[in-house]
A and B are shown apart, each in its own frame.
Chain A
Amino acid sequence: MLKIVYFGKTSFALEYNETTILLNPGKWDGESVVPDDFNARVVIATNQSDDAVGNAATIAVNSKAWFLGNQGTVDKVSEQGAKPWLLHVLQPEVPYEIPDVKITPYSLSRIDEVEGGRIENLGLYIEIGEMKVGYLGDSVLRGPFEQFDMDVLIVPVGGDGVFPVKDAVSLCIDAQPRVGIPMRWSSIDDPLKFSKYVQQFGQGTVPVVMAPNQVLEVSWAAGNEFRYELN
Chain B
Amino acid sequence: MIQINNLWKRYGDTSVLERINAEVKEGEFITLVGTSGCGKSTFLKLLLGTEQQSQGELLLDGKPIPAEPDRHRGIVFQQYSVFPHLSVLKNVMAARAFAEGRISALLLGRRRREARAEAEALLESVGLSHVLESYPHQLSGGMRQRLAIAQALVLKPRILLLDEPFGALDPGIRGDMHELILNLWHQQQLTVFMVTHDLKEGFYLGTRLWVFDKIRHDPQAPQAFGATITYDIPVGRTERKIYEEIDNQLRPVAAV
Partners in one complex: no
A positions within 8 Å CB-CB of B: none
